[in-house]
Amino acid sequence: MDLVRGELVALLDHAHDRLEQRLEGMTDDELRWTPTDDDRIGIAWRLQHLTRLFTEPRAWTWLGAEPPAPRGGPEQVTVASVRAALRAAFARWRDLVAEVDDLALPVGPAAGAYASATRLAFVLHVVDELVHHAAEAALLRDLYARQVRLAGCSCRPEAELTRYVRTCDHCDTEHSSPHCVHDQRQAPCPECDVVPVPQLG
């Protein structure tokens, strides 16, 4: 395997492994949650989009390979089924990149306006998509965790919330935040993101 191909495969592996680690512990509720009414603004859409990216015909024909036979998606959208589909799709495409012929060759007429682009450029585009959507999924997990925390404590979601006003010990900003009277979890300071020690007032 030449140096460029080796670096590409290593980068793909790194990006995928980082996404796998970031998805550990995710629940089905997290997977389906969206911060708006748009279903595309959610983790499920991003992971399914990546799966399609690795399995769509152009991902193979633009690299001079025969696309694999289509596989139906999971009947139910669950963390296990979506992650398994993405894992399998990635593994097949990663192996293709490891074995593809000369990466300096143009992708050819099938790519239309991108016919003169090299196979290497296309692989880099897919890597960019993987990193981009993986980062979005990670951010959505953070947003989900934040809204769950502000809604109540982990063991009693209906726990009473009161509010306190204090000056942040870290940045001296005075602010008001929700306070869970059950487990005393605090929202971070909106200015410096440091979680303050609760002082009710």
Which residues does 39 contact at the CB level (< 8 Å), separation at least 6?
Answer: 45
Q: Give the pLDDT score at 69.
A: 82
Helix (H, G, I), strand (E, B) or coil at 6: helix
Q: Give the pLDDT score at 71.
A: 72
Q: Give the pLDDT score at 129.
A: 98
Successive 10-residue mean pLDDT values, the chain, 201 residues = 89 98 95 90 96 96 90 79 96 96 92 94 98 97 78 44 50 53 46 49 37
Helix (H, G, I), strand (E, B) or coil at 102: coil
Domains located in the chain, CATH noted:
3-151 (1.20.120.450), 159-201 (no CATH)
- Give yes or no for a contact between 126 and 53, defined as CB atoms under 8 angstroms apart: yes
Q: Which residues of 155-166 are buried (b: 16+ CB within 10 A; e: fewer)?
A: eeeeeeeeeeeb
Compute CA distances 46 → 19, 20, 23, whole Å.
12, 13, 12
Which residues does 156 contact at the CB level (< 8 Å), separation at least 6?
Answer: 182, 183
Which residues does 171 contact at the CB level (< 8 Å), separation at least 6?
Answer: 189, 191, 192, 194
